[in-house]
Amino acid sequence: MEEQGLNQSRASRRMWWIATGLLVVMGVLFVVSHLWTGEAAWVHAVRAFSEAAMVGALADWFAVTALFRYPLGIPIPHTAIIPSNKARIGRSLGQFVQSNFLSREVLEGEVVNISGILARWLSQPTNRARIVRRVRALLPRMLESVEEGELRTFLDKQFEEVFSRVDLAKATGRLLRLLTSNDMHEVVLDEVVRQARGFFRSNQDWFRSQLREASPWFVPDFVDRRIFESILSKTEDTLGKALTDRQHELRQRIHGAMSALITKLESSVEAQQKGEELRDMLLANEVFRGYITVLRDGLLKELKADITSDGSHLAHALERTLANFVTTMSASEEMQRRLNRGIRSVLHTLVGEQGGHVADLISRTIDSWDASTIVNKLEEQVGSDLQYIRINGTIVGGLVGLLLYLFREVVSTYVS
Instruction: Report how far residue 229's alpha carbon sits from residue 210's, in angstroms, rounded to the nearest whole number.
Output: 14
Under 8 Å between Cβ of 114 and 329: no
Three-state secondary-structure class, residue 72: helix
Q: CB-based contacts of 285: which residues, under 8 Å, 6+ apart?
A: none
Instruction: Report how far residue 121's alpha carbon sits from residue 349's, in angstroms, rounded to the nearest whole number.
Output: 25
CA-based R_g, the chain, Å: 42
Of 268, 185, 199, 182, the residue nearest 239 (C-alpha): 199
Across the chain, mean pLDDT equals 78
- CB burial of 108-142 (b: ≥16 within 10 Å; e: otherwise) equals eeeeebbbbebbeebbeeeebeeebeeebeebeee
Q: What are the tens digits of pLDDT across the range 3-23? A: 555 566 677 778 888 888 888
**Is residue 234 packed enough to be buried (19+ CB in 10 Å), middle (13-18) or exposed (0-12)?**
exposed
Give the per-residue pLDDT at 1: 46
Instruction: Report how far residue 388's alpha carbon sits from residue 15's, in angstroms, rounded to the nearest whole number.
Output: 7
Q: What are the tens digits of pLDDT across the range 381-398? A: 676 777 888 888 888 888
Instruction: Report how far residue 226's alpha carbon sits from residue 27's, in angstroms, rounded to the nearest whole number.
Output: 127
Q: What are the tens digits of pLDDT across the range 221-237? A: 777 778 877 887 888 88
Under 8 Å between Cβ of 48 and 401: yes
- Cβ neighbours, 10 Å, residue 156: 14
Could you say which DSSP state residue 353 is in? G
Q: Pick the range with the lowest mean pLDDT from 14-23, 146-155, 302-311.
A: 146-155
Q: Is 332 left (phi over 0), alpha (psi -120 to 50) or beta?
A: beta
To the nearest 10 degrees (0 to 180), the angle between helices 114-122 and 125-146 is: 100
Under 8 Å between Cβ of 59 and 393: yes
Alpha-carbon 169 to chain mean position:
37
Q: What are the tens digits of pLDDT across the range 51-88? A: 888 988 888 888 888 877 788 778 888 777 777 777 77
Under 8 Å between Cβ of 43 and 33: yes
Could you say which DSSP state residue 369 is in? S
- CB burial of 377-391 (b: ≥16 within 10 Å; e: otherwise) equals eebbeebbebbeebb
Domain ranges of the chain: 2-93+361-415, 162-306
pTM (predicted TM-score):
0.42
- Cβ neighbours, 10 Å, residue 340: 20
* C-alpha dihedral (19, 21, 26, 27), degrees to nearest 10: 120
Q: Pick the range with the lowest mean pLDDT from 12-16, 218-222, 257-261, 406-410.
A: 218-222
- Binned at pLDDT 50, 70 and 90, residue 368 comes out as confident
- Cβ neighbours, 10 Å, residue 295: 10
Q: CB-based contacts of 318: which residues, under 8 Å, 6+ apart?
A: 131, 132, 135
Report for 51-55, 118-122, 326-330: range of highest mean pLDDT: 51-55
Give the per-residue pLDDT at 148: 62
